[in-house]
Chain A
Amino acid sequence: MLLIVCPYCGKRPEIEFTYGGQAHLARPAQPSQLDDQAWAEFLYMRANTKGIYAERWRHSRGCGRFFNALRDTTTDHFLAFYKTGEAQPALSGSGASPTPRESTT
């Protein structure tokens, strides 16, 4: 089970949280202006990154708030947690993660 650090409540077990999928996907401001391909991209296409992935979590059995995290999907180790609205933390060599790395949390 993952240990997840809610930026508001601290470290809690995974079962208190709901997964929210890929982070930083902004809903198009004018959906009616999009063609079908662009709308499908927004609705259905996800990065599904093998490596470091920015994702949303919600502390649904706690404070109820959404926040973001960086996790390496090849190891399931978290690298950072940050509040919604904050910029994605810069990591050296972010992107693909060729070797397993230790959690920084």
Chain B
Amino acid sequence: MSSQSFSGLSLFWRSLSSHRGWQTQWRKPEPKAHYDAVIVGGGGHGLGAAYYLAKEHGLTNIAVLEKGWIGGGNTGRNTTIIRSNYLFDESAALYDHSLKLWENLSQALNYNVMFSPRGVMMLAHTVHDIQVFKRHVHANRCNGVDNEWLEPAEAKEFCPPLNIEGNIRYPVLGAALQRRGGTARHDAVAWGYARAADALGVDIIENCEVTGIRRDARGAVEALETTRGVIQSRKVGVSAAGHSSVIMALAGVHVPLESYPLQALVSEPVKPVFPCVVMSNTIHAYISQSDKGELVIGAGTDAYTSYTQRGALHINTHTLDAICELFPHFRRLRMLRNWGGIVDVTPDRSPIIAKTPVPGLYVNCGWGTGGFKATPGSAHVFAWTIARDEPHPINAPFTIERFRDGYLIDEAAAAAVAH
């Protein structure tokens, strides 16, 4: 098990031997025949769930199965925006739980996840936007979530590159600002959780795709069939993002999900020019600047369901049109890379973190276009749900049955971006 600790002192100590003494950060074990719990999906949510199962619930004979490499799915494909300014009480509780965990995550994991609360500013372009955002500001404050209204000049002061003139198709009429929001380094989240979980004895097994879920006479989960053999476990947590419905179908569980490509792109790296995160619902743009200097830009979902991890270029150019209107001096920047990920979208655009009709099978899915921000909180309450066979109070409303019973958490209508 990895025991090396990261600190300024250890960095200095290793530098004396030209940094030759560093060890790998987690093991690459062979899968065992039996585990007390197995997580399917080695993204941030799955690795985090394994970490909290081991750290807070004392389950250490557990494995994370990943069909590719850890953090290679949506954890490595998102635009790293973190915020908690959701409208409904249930959502605010879940996302703010996550934001509070983000604030101390680097210390908790002894791994620098580069959480940067640089502020997330959402632009209003219409009278409707102004009314909706002010409603969000008030609702958030009632829930103890910071959010404030800015007039255009104040928005410009917070984000100097922003064009607030009347010379664009949809001028900026104001903005809602969550100062505690920001970004983090996405790969470091996966690696930090993996390293910390591994140190607690969790087996992280890559290149291991689940191909079947075996159930006993009572219907409960008893084993997983994988490309690396049969693995027995009475508790299985599925955290498989865009492939959640495919995995759940192996156990005969139908979840209300549709999988869409969601695209993002980055520019060539430039010197620090962009101090915060800016999002625009109405003209659809998200933008921030990474520590490498690339402008990280989030585009929209494609119109159709797909598992191809790519989408059409017109989705990206539509977003770039908006970026160039809002930040005219980015017009001559060249775009470096674009990519897609497959996001699992629920009808109400809120996640499902719940028990399923199959005993021993748990699911954490439906994060749609905005799961990265929720990684620590989602993982934390999912681990609780698996360990105790009952939901944490925070994720209790996020069931599959809410669609039957009519208790939707309709962030689809309330979201700050069009889905």
Contact (Cβ within 8 A) B312 A43: no
Q: How far is the CB of B149 from chain A (nearest CB, A)?
A: 35
* 13 A-B contacts (beta carbon < 8 Å): A1-B314, A14-B303, A14-B312, A18-B303, A19-B303, A19-B304, A40-B256, A40-B404, A48-B245, A48-B257, A48-B258, A48-B305, A76-B308
Q: Quick check: B307 and A2 within 8 Å, CB to CB?
A: no
User: Is there a chain B Cβ closer than 8 Å to A36's Cβ?
Assistant: yes
Q: Which residues of A1-40 have CB atoms within 8 Å of chain B's CB atoms?
A: 1-2, 14-15, 17-19, 21, 36-37, 40
Q: Which of B301-335 contact A (CB under 8 A)?
A: 303-308, 312-314
Cα A55 to Cα B303 in complex, Å, equals 12
A44 touches B256 (CB 8 A): yes
Contact residues in A for B308 (Cβ distance below 8 Å): 73-76
Give the A-binding residues of B (Cβ under 8 A): 243, 245-246, 254, 256-259, 303-308, 312-314, 347, 403-406
A19 to B306, CA, bound (A): 12
Q: Does A65 belong to the interface (CB within 8 Å)?
A: no
Q: Which residue of A lies closest to B257 (CB)?
A: A48
Contact A37:B404 (CB < 8 A) given known A1-B314, A44-B347: yes
- Complex Cα distance, B307 from A75, in Å, reads 8
A83 on the interface (CB 8 Å rule)? Answer: no
For A2, give its contact among B256, B304, B305 (CB under 8 Å): B304
Is A101 part of the binding interface, using a Cβ–Cβ cutoff of 8 Å?
Answer: no
B415: min CB distance to chain A, Å: 18
Q: Would you list the 6 A-B pairs with minimal beta carbon distance, nearest first?
A: A19-B303, A44-B256, A40-B404, A1-B312, A48-B245, A44-B403
Residues of the B chain whose Cβ atoms lie less than 8 Å from the Cβ of A40: 256, 403-404
Given contacts A44-B347, A48-B259, A55-B305, 15 further A-B contacts (CB under 8 A): A1-B312, A14-B303, A18-B303, A21-B258, A36-B405, A37-B404, A40-B404, A41-B254, A44-B403, A45-B256, A50-B307, A73-B305, A74-B308, A75-B308, A76-B308
